[in-house]
Amino acid sequence: MNRRFNELINAIRKSVEIEIEYDKYTTPDSRRVRRVQPYALREFRNRWYLLAAEVSASNQAGNNLKIWGLDRIRKLTHTNRTFQKDTTFDMKTIFEHCFGIYANKEILSSALHKG
């Protein structure tokens, strides 16, 4: 866990896209590789979460912020791609009216205002 945690902090600081092999909570056998732009880490009830924007073929801008459980990341790979962080990103604002990591999709989608 420490190694992965340090790798994530490094990727966040350097604005480097990463690829994660991730098991969804609802369907743990549906492991997929996803490319994400990491923004921050958050702890809630002794569990750590990554706030990152997923990059896909239809969303190259990576402006859909999601919460990823670190315990469900099976593999993490740094890419050679860097990204420009949204300067309006503010953790305090995102979680201002939330309990722990639970934020509705409207809060998360409005957290990044890339146009």
Full DSSP string of 52-64: EEEEBTTBTT---
pLDDT at 41 over 80: yes
Average pLDDT value for the chain: 79
Q: Would the pLDDT of 64 be above 70?
A: yes
Residue 81 backbone dihedrals phi, psi, to 5 degrees:
-95, 130
42-65 mean pLDDT: 80
Which one is predicted more confidently, 83 or 28?
Answer: 83
The DSSP H or E segment spanning 79 is strand 73-82
Query: What's the whole-number mean pLDDT along residues 64-81?
Result: 90
Question: Does the pTM exceed 0.75?
Answer: yes
Taking residues 19-28, report their average pLDDT.
Answer: 81
> Which of 34-67 are b and which e, b meaning 16 or more Cβ less than 10 Å from the residue's Cβ?
bbbbbbbbbeeeeebbbbbbbbeeeeeebbbbee
Residue 107 in this model has a pLDDT that exceeds 70: no
Q: What does the pLDDT read at residue 46?
A: 87
pLDDT at 4: 87
Using an 8 Å Cβ cutoff, are 115 and 87 in contact? no
Point out which residues pair with 32 in neighbouring strands: 22
